[in-house]
Amino acid sequence: MNRALTLDDLVLAGIALGAGLLLAFMSRTLLRWLAKHAKRTRWSGDDVIVDALRSVVPWAAIAGGAAAAAAVLPLTRAVQHRTDQLLEVWLIFVVTLSAARVVAGLVRSVTQSRSGVAGSATIFVNITRVLVLAIGFLIVLQTLGISIAPLLTALGVGGLAVALALQDTLANLFAGIHILASKTVQPGDYIRLSSGEDGYVVDINWRQTTVRQLSNNLVVIPNGQLAKANMTNYTRPEQQLTVPVQVGVGYDSDLEHVERVTAEVVTEVMRDVAGAVPDHEAAVRFHTFGDSRIGFTVILGVGEFSDQYRIKHEFIKRLHRRYREEGIRIPAPTRTVALQQGAVIPQQRGGEDRVPGSVRAE
């Protein structure tokens, strides 16, 4: 426009800008009220969406008020164009940040809902956030009139050099994606590697996997190493598992009685101890004629890996007390020393056998 600036123009611009600020304040108040109600729902996605709207709607209202104010002012065509571009870039920037927050929050929500105990797979969250920000950056360049074709070409050529320089990092990145996509390991699983590391998987990010041991220490494992290692997952395909406990009784024991008493103790422990499997069927399997005892295995059912220590502790205490009440003997290994022709020959024996002509000492 070529006309001079008047007081009416300033008043109208002030009204438009004030209306934008008022609308921003009202929308922020309304969205704060919606956020309180969203927290009461089970789905965490509505919290993410409302939180993102609290960032984008007020700024969009301010941008709209500024655009209306600029429209009523007698600006030149060039200034008006630059002002519109600036407001568009501002709005695109705010929308991009809010969209990145929404998408990352929804991905985190879905990941946690499918991961079990303590899921937080940030590798997908980070990848989606970077993709949204990159798209927003390209839109900003296009809005400013900057051609993105040469930029994409330069990124393609430079990407080859970066890929060669970051081979290990990219290997860990794709290994992490493969691990999560194949669902062999998920956050919340209890794993044990052939190298000895074990614990709950806390997080799988773009470079490494974090494992929390039962001692509450964190072990950081590169994704490439985790993908190559022999690994036992104690959570999949089922979280419940069985735990064997080795027991032995004397040769003079009534094995039918021993089996019955042991099964009763197993049933009692499965019913009373937290973390046990109440419907687990007691299993007692005799397997060895030992030096001083008949060995057998008792199989216990536990809800998840860390429960086994508490359940084994309680089972051994109750079984020992019950055996004493029933008169079932748990023999200790004995060592017989035979003195023969001046030599001392230690012999491990379970009974009371003696070498003829020898002196027995214990």
The structure's pTM equals: 0.54
- Which whole number is the average pLDDT over 309-326? 94
| Residues composing the chain | 362
More confident residue, 119 or 326: 326
* 116 — pLDDT class (breaks 50, 70, 90): very low
* 359 — pLDDT class (breaks 50, 70, 90): very low
Check residue 294 and give its pLDDT.
Answer: 94
Estimate to the nearest angstrom the gap between the alpha carbon of 346 and the chain centroid: 54
Check residue 167 and give its pLDDT.
Answer: 66
Check residue 121 and give its pLDDT.
Answer: 55
- Which whole number is the average pLDDT over 68-88? 72
Check residue 353 and give its pLDDT.
Answer: 45
* 94 — pLDDT class (breaks 50, 70, 90): confident
Q: Please, which residues have CB within 8 angstroms of residue 20's CB and are 6 or more apart in sequence?
A: 61, 62, 63, 64, 65, 66, 68, 69
pLDDT of residue 277 exceeding 50: yes
* 152 — pLDDT class (breaks 50, 70, 90): low
* 257 — pLDDT class (breaks 50, 70, 90): very high
Check residue 292 and give its pLDDT.
Answer: 85
Check residue 344 and give its pLDDT.
Answer: 53
pLDDT of residue 118 exceeding 70: no
* Tens digit of each residue's pLDDT (9 = 90 or more) over 16-34: 778 777 877 887 788 777 7
More confident residue, 277 or 124: 277
pLDDT of residue 129 exceeding 50: yes
Rounded mean pLDDT of the chain?
Answer: 78
Q: How far apart are CA 314 and CA 150, in angstroms?
A: 70
More confident residue, 100 or 349: 100
* 188 — pLDDT class (breaks 50, 70, 90): confident
Among 65-79, 87-101, 184-198, the range scoring the smallest mean pLDDT is: 65-79
Check residue 357 and give its pLDDT.
Answer: 44
Helix segments in the chain, DSSP class H = 7-38, 45-72, 77-115, 122-143, 149-165, 167-182, 223-228, 255-272, 307-326
Asked if residue 351 lies in contact with residue 362, where contact means CB atoms within 8 angstroms, the answer is no
pLDDT of residue 339 exceeding 80: no
Which letter does DSSP use for residue 251 in this model?
A: T
* 112 — pLDDT class (breaks 50, 70, 90): low
